[in-house]
Amino acid sequence: MIPTVSSQLLLLVLVYALLAFLLVCLLLATRWHWGVKGAAVLLVSGFYALSHNTLQGIAGWPSDDALPPRFVLLSAVFDEPRPGRNHPGAIFIWVNPMKDNKPLEMPRVHRLPYEKDLARILGDGIKKARDGNTQMGSTEPVRGQGGFAWLRPTGNDKLQLKLSDLPRAQLPEK
């Protein structure tokens, strides 16, 4: 039986609860200075938060971070909204970020809010990729957002996604 993500998270929570219980027992049984005890509690709490964020980044869960400025499109899955069930929908997009005009080795999955236009653009890109034309994507901020960027909440910046065929590698002449 393959453990699900929720059972893995439950196991992680139980392990950290046991660690916290053992720390409380240790701190109650010793006569250490209160500063050492406080530092131990802060260290264990910080370690829990750090490990949770690290596991979110490496376990294959979708990232809510912004798409990279340039990437290679690998695939996309569309979870259409269901208004009757209060389900807003999402688009899951697998990309390889590009650095120095070369794709990085590790792909990443991103979760984007569902938009019909974005689903259409990505659907067309996936069809072209299946036909053998690898798709390169780029993101640009949407023009017309007024006001100062530092006054807007982070993560609410609308991005315009563009897909194009990845240029074929040119072989050197003999």
Give tens-digit pLDDT for 137-158. 998 877 655 566 555 555 545 6
pLDDT tens-digit series, residues 18-41: 888 888 888 888 888 889 888 888
Q: Whole-number mean pLDDT of the chain?
A: 81
Q: What is the pLDDT of residue 147?
A: 60
d(CA 158, CA 139): 10
Picking from 125, 54, 124, the residue whose alpha carbon sits closest to that of residue 95 is 125
- Give the start-to-end residue ranges of the domains of the chain: 5-58, 70-165
Q: What is the mean pLDDT of residues 68-74?
A: 91
Joined together, the tokens standing for residue 142 give 């949407």
What's the mean pLDDT in 112-138?
A: 91
Tokens coding 105 = 């080795």
